[in-house]
Each structure stands twice: as structure tokens, then as C-alpha cells.
Amino acid sequence: MNNEHDFSYAYIEAGLKLEISPRWEWTAALREGNSIDGTDGERFGKFITGPSFSFDKNNEVELRYVRAFRDKDARAWQIGYTHKF
């Protein structure tokens, strides 16, 4: 649910992680999503891929390329940081 548009959505994502070394991984995933309530124009697919680097068991940085298609047509680069507790 969100407060920008009046619809709810859900998605499912299948992906693979390839461990290149103890610190490096590569991710490839396909995400399929749609509005739950049947709102038009909210069907999307995303291809997501890129490397991850683990500094230690609790800290990781990710670089991702995302290509969206269907009702949403976009390309993006993302940088993310994850801290695990």
C-alpha cells in the first residue's frame, strides 16, 4: 500500500546469487508485479543484476542495474548499503 496512488500491489521475485569469492557475489533476478485490486497501468516486470561486496559478516555494499518493462519503462543504477544485526 502507498499514499501516492490509490491502489495496492504485490510482486514475486525469483533470483540467483553466484558466489565469486568469499567477499564478492553476483545477483540476477526477475521481479513480476501487479496491482492487487485491478488498477490499470500498474503491471510491471523488472530485471535486476549486479555485484555485491561484503566488508565483513554484517556489512555489505551492492551495485545494481535495474531494467523495468511493461507498464513501467525505466532503467536505473542503484547503490545500496546493508548492515545486518
**∠ Cα 6 80 83 (to 5°):** 105
pLDDT of residue 18: 97
7 pLDDT higher than 90: no
Integer Rg of the chain from CA: 15
> For residue 30, what is its C-alpha cell?
526477475
- Report pTM: 0.78
Residue of 47, 69, 60 lying closest to 19 (CA atoms) = 60
Can you give the residue ranges of every domain in the chain?
9-83
pLDDT of residue 5: 64
pLDDT of residue 64: 97
pLDDT of residue 65: 98
> For residue 58, what is its C-alpha cell?
554484517
pLDDT of residue 4: 66
pLDDT in tens, 22-75: 999 999 999 999 888 877 878 899 999 999 999 999 999 999 999 999 988 999
Contact residues for 75 (Cβ-Cβ < 8 A; gap 6+): 65, 66, 67, 68
47 with 32: CB under 8 angstroms? no
